[in-house]
Structure 1
Amino acid sequence: MLQIETWKRVLIWGLVALGLVLALPNVFYPRVERYNDEVSAGSTGTGWPSFLPSGLVNLGLDLRGGAHLLAEVRVADVYETRMQGLWPDVRNLLRDQRDSVGTIRLLPSDGGELKVRIGSPDGMDDAIRTVRSLAQPVVSLTGAGATDIEVSGTGDVLTVNLSEAERTAMDDRTVRQSLEIIRRRIDEVGTREPTIQRQGQDRILIEVPGVGSADELKEIIGTTAQLSFQPVVRRGVSEDASASAGEEILPSLDEPGVFYLLETAPVVSGEALTDAQPTFDQNGRAAVSFRFNPSGARKFGDYTAQNIGNPFAIVLDDEVISAPVIQAHIAGGSGIITGNFSVEESTNLAVLLRAGALPAGLDFLEERTIGPELGADSIQAGKIACIVAGIAVLVFMALSYGLFGIFANIALILNVGLIFGILSMIGATLTLPGIAGIVLTIGMAVDANVLVFERIREESKTAKGPARAIELGYDRALSAIVDANITTFIVAAILFVLGSGPVRGFSVTLAIGILTSVFTAIWITRLLIVTWFERARPKKIEV
């Protein structure tokens, strides 16, 4: 007989109620958004009851407005940095072998290699063997068994190169690290639901809703913020003065026309920083306090203990922001960066340092700003599309199937509410293609009902009584409904796995719409029909 157990009815209406409650905040979007911002800032939220859900469907770039960037990571930059960092270790090892290799001198070379001239060519074999002791295994699946450096010698010149396996591993690490640092920097300024993902081997797609322009986004992520502490060779040199190998000339940030000749190899780099916070110095001027990790603290402490009375430079992005004289041993691994900062500049610098230095520069291949007005137009167009599609389907179902069509229409309206409830629960981002997925779902949502109703029409001609016709209609249409929706769900899953950005947004809403459509068609519409049938007890049904 046609019946549904009480516990199933309670469960069905309970799920519907839960979905509608989760979708409710989207009806009051601006109010709930302000409430969430207040809670995130640490204050007590106002304007929305705290006992109600406050999850929203996040609006994507094309709906909210914002900035789009496609950046290419200059992975070759890290080769030069790696070689510069290797030079002090090579120099110290060869100094210990001075009896056999003679004098050593760093030669100018390309960024990806290190060249050293030794005074005694006869000791080249000893020099190669000594430097090879610095080689480490490549940390990657593809580089198993390989070492990170290759050492060779010709005449009196020893050459150190990065191995091909190490370059490949470094490229991958550089892009991954850039992804993480960009994500941290954007999260620091409180932007909502950014899209940051890798494209190809060395490109990163960045889409941030709510940012005013692409230039503003580039200011957030484009600054390299590479901090280093380097020994000072001489102050006040001319910009045109020549620097020997292992040295560089950098300008002073606070003193126009003043330049510093520095050793290229830093004492400590910004990678050793564990924290940076805006603060004020003893004179009340804006500054930035910093703290090193144990390794950086040890190196910094050893250097200051050995160089009391000598200056050292604090370098940020190839500019000397301060060059104090070491007055005493600085232990503990903490210090303060002073300069001609405003409070805002010190805060921004602390954010950049805390997020970490980008390992390599970025080339912006594509940049686009989408204004809020365009986003509002997209939302309005999406609303109109949903309303037009919804009304057309509602009218068609009511005219085609009468009372049963009205039951299907009620289920369709609940279906849209459930879609937004699930999107809010999982924190999904809705894009314009996502709206297209919802519109498509509205059109497809009644497919299952059409199959059932047509089957009931057929069964009513042969079955004994309307109850049996309804029961057979649902039972015999079920396999066709499941098969059709499973194939569509598989397509949505493939789009999600292989697609990116807007394609994924479409696939998510389509997949959720398929699940809710099957639920509303098989259970909600059936429950409405059963409830009506129990009360009306018709002798004949008109579908």
Structure 2
Amino acid sequence: LWKYLLVVAVLLVGLVYALPNLYPSDPSIQISAVRGAEPVSQAFVESLEKTLVDKGITPKESELDEVKNQVLMRFDNTEVQLEAQDILKESLGRQYLTALNLAPATPGWLRALNAKPMYLGLDLRGGVHFLMEVDMVTAKDNALKRYEDEFRDFLREANVDYLGVSREGDTLITKFKTEEARAEGRKILANQYRTEILLGDKEVATTANLIANISPDNLQAIEKFALKQNITTLRKRVNELGVAEPIIQQQGLNRIVVQLPGVQDTGKAKKLLGATATLEFRLVDDGGNDPQQAAQSGRAPLGTKLYYERNGSPILLQRKIMLTGEYITDARSGFDSQSNRPNVSINLDGKGAARFSKVTGANIQKPMATVFIETQFEEYEVNGEKKYKPVKTEEVINVATIQDQLSRSFQITGLDSPDEARELALLLRAGALAAPVYIVEERTVGPNLGQENIDSGFMSILIGFSLVLIFMLAYYRVFGLVANLALAMNVVIIFAVMSMLQF
């Protein structure tokens, strides 16, 4: 008896988790508030519905998610969905992001059991395909900037008498007063970099110069790292943002293929892939310079850089960076226990912790600024064609006095909302792009083509399955009926298992 009960139980579970595949997805629009916008509410949803109804469009259903601060509106077909998006974009402006989506139409009682339809790939569900190229020139440029800063640090720590480090093209030039100082500097840098840097001498009138170039092997390693790091970053970002079954893989020496099933809005996809957010920590300038005067003239004093706080006030920070986001290993959003304001708890790797500990220990009781750096894609039109350009925003979100020596873990505050804290933590966890990426090829696979593939596949299964059933019944009679039932159960269980794999 228990064997029969087990078969029935397995079949019932299989039926429940296979059922969601019978419900097609609804074309939908997801409206999300961006930083600085009013949170969504029921009144906001009603105003959106009224705006659409006035234009002759009635949403199939509207769902409010106050936790994620977003609204999902379902529509009957893709044509209505696209028309509604144009209306909502014009009505909402830049304060809210409208993204096309496909929302499962699974009934509530099935969703309560966590029963979902199986994930479909790009060929069946539709979506976007990008071929992206990594900017290797910028990757090399970033490496040269890093070496330039490190040269200064190593020579200063060793008390070598040098005049300065400058850059000419792909060459770093370190100037020394004497031949003896140059020889000492060469020895220090050669010990630090060994095969990474090629060193040579250059005589110039009154100074003894040391020239440095990145070695070919090291340059190749830098380019490989930039490509691998960007693939890892894109994969983490897409996974954390919930795109189902993306494909992100290397193509050639400097290109990345990205496929995002279910994403219909290429603009949304570009923003998802290209948006970056990171942090820099800098000391506030203590040289007595006037930030207002620098803001009016548009020129910052030597050794400083002009920034603005979120309230619009100018502030001068030291040009030298104390710490960047590349050393961050983990970031979690939360709330400050004293002020109950949103914050982000940050953990650093060993190298970053040692560097931050050293620099904060040497600057206790001095003000330190947290600079929030964000890059987003801005949409514009050229001859009626939509294009996107990166726009970089840098602002000071927090200025605090260093009370003690900081190390591996600390918190930052000054964020506008819990949503901004969550988004910043997500992007910090995913990491920054090692070098910019540019889209060189873009293809959109429409859901209609995917639906045609699904219909063709379903029809082939139906015809093949029917022919097998007829043959089995005609040839084996009763035993054929039993075999047909087993075959049908097998199909149901396969659908159920494929749907359950996404848990």
TM-score > 0.5 by shorter chain: yes
Superposed displacement of residue 305, structure 1: 2.3
Q: How far, CA to CA, are the matches of 1:49 and 1:307 in structure 2?
A: 55
Is 2:380 the partner of 1:308? no
AA matched with 1:208: L
Could you list the per-position Cα deviations for residues 255-279 of structure 1 after superposition, in whole angstroms to 9, with x for gaps in the alignment? 4473645324x32222322322223
Counterpart position of 2:192: 134
Counterpart position of 2:21: 29
Q: How far, CA to CA, are the matches of 1:371 and 1:66 in structure 2?
A: 7
Q: 1:47 aligns with which of 90, 99, 110?
A: 110
Is 2:155 the partner of 1:94? yes
Is 2:329 the partner of 1:274? yes
Superposed displacement of residue 92, structure 1: 3.7
Structure with greater proportional helix content: 1
Q: Note the 1:371-520 alignment, pairs <5 A.
A: 372=447, 374-387=449-462, 403=475
Contact 2:398/2:412 (<8 A) preserved: no
Partner-residue secondary structure (3-state), 2:152: helix
Counterpart position of 1:191: 243
Note closer, same or farther for the CA distance 1:20–1:296 as it changes in structure 2 (3 Å cut): same
Q: 2:422 aligns with which of 325, 347, 353?
A: 347
Superposed displacement of residue 285, structure 1: 3.5
Partner-residue secondary structure (3-state), 2:401: coil
Partner-residue secondary structure (3-state), 1:76: helix
TM-score of the superposed pair, with normalisation by structure 2: 0.63
Contact 1:305/1:328 (<8 A) preserved: no
Superposed displacement of residue 308, structure 1: 2.6
Q: 2:442 aligns with which of 363, 367, 372?
A: 367
Structure 1: tracts of 5 or more residues without a match? 1-9, 34-40, 137-146, 430-543
Could you list the per-position Cα deviations for residues 25-68 of structure 1 after superposition, in whole angstroms to 9, with x for gaps in the alignment? 444426899xxxxxxx9xxx963898xx9796421123223333
Counterpart position of 1:452: none
Could you list the per-position Cα deviations for residues 140-173 of structure 1 after superposition, in whole angstroms to 9, with x for gaps in the alignment? xxxxxxx222222212332222211111122222
Is 2:182 the partner of 1:124? yes
Is 2:302 the partner of 1:251? no
Paired positions, count: 386
Superposed displacement of residue 199, structure 1: 1.5
Counterpart position of 1:143: none
Superposed displacement of residue 340, structure 1: 4.9
Superposed displacement of residue 323, structure 1: 5.1
Could you list the per-position Cα deviations for residues 268-296 of structure 1 after superposition, in whole angstroms to 9, with x for gaps in the alignment? 22232232222334444333232323443
Structure 2: tracts of 5 or more residues without a match? 26-67, 69-107, 374-392
Counterpart position of 2:74: none
Structure with greater proportional strand content: 2
Could you list the per-position Cα deviations for residues 422-475 of structure 1 after superposition, in whole angstroms to 9, with x for gaps in the alignment? 68757899xxxxxxxxxxxxxxxxxxxxxxxxxxxxxxxxxxxxxxxxxxxxxx
Superposed displacement of residue 79, structure 1: 2.7
Counterpart position of 2:136: 75
Could you list the per-position Cα deviations for residues 177-236 of structure 1 after superposition, in whole angstroms to 9, with x for gaps in the alignment? 211221111221222211111122222222222335222223333122232223344672
Counterpart position of 1:161: 213
Q: 2:200 aligns with which of 130, 149, 152?
A: 152
Could you list the per-position Cα deviations for residues 386-427 of structure 1 after superposition, in whole angstroms to 9, with x for gaps in the alignment? 445666x669x969x973899999989987986886687578
Q: 1:207 aligns with which of 249, 252, 259?
A: 259
AA matched with 1:211: V
AA matched with 1:151: L
**Sequence identity percentage:** 26
Partner-residue secondary structure (3-state), 2:277: coil
Contact 1:69/1:206 (<8 A) preserved: yes
Superposed displacement of residue 132, structure 1: 0.8
Q: How far, CA to CA, are the matches of 1:417 and 1:76 in structure 2?
A: 58
